[in-house]
Amino acid sequence: MDVHLRAGIGIYNAGRYHAAHDAWEAHWLELESGTDDERFLHGLIQFTAAVHHARNRNWSGATGLANSAREYLTGLPATYRSVNVGAVRGYLDALGNDPELIERRQPLALTHDGTELGLSELGFEATCVAARVLAEGSGYDEALVETAVEYARADLEDEVASSAFVALLFDFVREPDDREIILQRLREHTERRRSRDEDVAGLFDER
């Protein structure tokens, strides 16, 4: 859960309020309804949705979701799963009463272990989750990103000294202005790797 949690927080703090929930949703749907973890993720998902609607000036949607998210998070500790839940509840109260506050100041940042987690602070596994989410949310080639993740994991398992796939996945997540170029480089490396693997496999075919 921690990997997906951190990925979603990093995406949210980067201003991708709508996309953030995609890092949490699959895990949330697997949880038993009413458990602390289920209410926690349900509340965070609705929190990000409330912020998203407020940013789009859908005031009724924002207030409804803010109030609903606040209910899901009620009863959880002020810090739960190392996230600033108490601050989130306070912000939801304010947003529910005055959704236009979103136009006067930036939305509350989510913290993890007391740190305002950004995309550049994500480890490898959380970066892989974020890469998939950002590819889907921005209309990039999801299959290419998934293949790059597989090759990056293989390189780490083989202790490759400097994996282009690992480096480019980090860049893809951390450098939003350069994602098109980075994706093209990932495509080139993926095609070369696939061609190399096919050539090696052919060496052992019976002739």
Task: Quick: pLDDT tens for 9-45.
Answer: 999 999 999 999 999 987 788 888 899 999 999 999 9
Task: Report CA 149 to chain centroid distance, whole Å.
Answer: 15
Alpha-carbon distances, residue 79 vs 34, 39, 94, 179, 196 (angstroms): 18, 14, 19, 34, 49
Task: Quick: pLDDT tens for 91-100.
Answer: 999 999 999 9
Given phi > 0 = left and psi -120 to 50 = alpha, else beta, which region is 118?
beta
**Helices assigned H by DSSP within 74-141:** 85-97, 124-138
Spatial distance between the Cα atoms of 80 and 45, rounded to a whole number of angstroms: 15
